Amino acid sequence: MTGLGRIERYVIGYMILGVTTALAIISAVVVLIQFVELTSQVGTRADVGPNGILELTLLKAPSIIQILLPICFLFGGIGAFVVLNRRSELVAMRAAGVSAWRFILPSAAVSLLLGVIVVAGLNPAAAAMNAQFEIRRARLMENYLGDRPKDIWLRQGDDTSQIVIHAKARDSRQGTVTLRGVSLFIYEKTPGGGPEFRRRLEAAEARLMPGFWQLKDVREATAGDSSIRSETLSIRSTLDPEAAMERLASPEAIAFWRLPRAIQLTEQAGFSASGYRLRLQQLLATPLLFAAMSILAAAFSLRLTRLGGLAGLAGTGVGLGFVMFFFNQFSGALAKADIIPLFAAAWAPVAVALLAGVTLLCYTEDG
């Protein structure tokens, strides 16, 4: 910030303080709600105490807080600019001939930079914690009779073959991919590019090792031949443990830097990667969304106090923040249902917020 003037640094400091305060309040609410929710979902069904529930809560909370960060920038920005306005500091700046754009644009630039830091640095940490949350929750719930395990489907492939893997359960031990009740359907690609079924393997257990699946208690069946049993069998795999665990996890549990690889492997195996592509586009749009929320916060807070209506205008900004949040979630749902393009779902909320903020700011500042 060495190139910024004293006014710009002063306003940016207030904005960061406001965002930090909003983040602290929202984080406390998220942790409380998550603790209560996990207590009812996990605590009543598994043998886990308050410390275990709190540990699960702290693992899950960062991924939820990351979704709510745009609201933190909006609420924190509104709070900062309203305080400056009520203390007549903004009035003094503008009376001295300082344009609102002079301190709003640096604030938006800082928000943009913070968005880059969140996506590049904090998102991988939140994704790793979310992945650990899913693993630990699955381990706690696997013995609960009321939760029937969901079938697991994986697919791997290369230029010569495709393997569809079906399992009835997954061992949730940390750092390993072990499947139980496994069926492998092996296809070879014909010269025309179509799949041709070759054989089917049934195994009690399949553990993913570097470069291959290690099968135990195997029964192999080929079309037209009798089945063959064996104690162990190895099948070549194009998956690594981390990529396989990503297939079993939600897009939110995959770090930003690994999303392109996850998309490539998923599409190579013949599955749709729309969820991963949407998540990638949303993360790319996050820094600009933070900047748009900062501009929107200033636009709703610059009305002169002596003219009245500042509280109502700020309240409208808060309401608009909730509208933008639900609009963002709704756009994502439409994209997952293939109703609108993924790019539009990720960037439309950003464009709407940015255009709304700039338009209102132009009206307020330039008449």
Tell me, rounded to whole angstroms, the distance of Cα 91 from its chain centroid.
Answer: 40
212-222 and 228-236 strand pairing: antiparallel
Q: 195 has which bridge partners? A: 189
- Over range 261-277, report the average pLDDT: 73
Residue 146 confidence class, pLDDT cut points 50, 70, 90: very low
pLDDT in tens, 80-125: 888 887 777 777 777 777 677 777 888 899 999 999 999 998 888 8
Residue 145 confidence class, pLDDT cut points 50, 70, 90: very low
Contacts (Cβ under 8 Å, ≥6 apart) of 127: 63, 252, 253, 254, 255, 256
Give the span between the Cα atoms of 142 and 171, in whole angstroms: 9
pLDDT surpassing 80 at residue 54? yes
Q: Do 184 and 203 meet the contact criterion of CB atoms below 8 Å apart? A: yes
Residue 229 confidence class, pLDDT cut points 50, 70, 90: confident
Task: Find tokens 């041709």 and name the residue.
Answer: 196
Identify the pLDDT of residue 89: 76
pLDDT surpassing 70 at residue 135? yes
Q: Do 269 and 261 meet the contact criterion of CB atoms below 8 Å apart? A: no
Residue 196 C-beta-side C-alpha neighbours within 13 Å: 8
Identify the pLDDT of residue 32: 92
* Rg over CA atoms, the chain: 26
pLDDT surpassing 80 at residue 72? yes
pLDDT surpassing 70 at residue 70? yes
Q: Burial of 38 by CB count in 10 Å (0-12 exposed, 13-18 middle, 19+ buried)?
A: buried
pLDDT in tens, 294-319: 888 888 777 655 555 556 666 777 77
Identify the pLDDT of residue 268: 66
In degrees rounded to 5, what are phi and psi of residue 169? Answer: -160, 160
Tell me, rounded to whole angstroms, the distance of Cα 72 from its chain centroid.
Answer: 16
For the chain, percent of residues with pLDDT exceeding 90: 10
Identify the pLDDT of residue 147: 47
Phi-psi group of 319: left, alpha or beta (phi > 0 → left; psi -120 to 50 → alpha; rest → beta)? alpha
- Over range 27-33, report the average pLDDT: 91
- Over range 57-81, report the average pLDDT: 88
pLDDT surpassing 70 at residue 186? yes
Dihedral sign (CA 188, 195, 241, 219):
negative
CA-closest candidate to residue 274, choices 205, 346, 204, 214? 346
Identify the pLDDT of residue 3: 53
Highest mean pLDDT among 3-7, 217-221, 318-322: 217-221
Q: What is the dihedral of CA 89, 91, 92, 94, to 10 degrees?
A: 120
> For 7-21, 45-59, 238-252, 278-292, which range has the lowest pLDDT when averaged over its residues?
238-252
Residue 177 confidence class, pLDDT cut points 50, 70, 90: confident
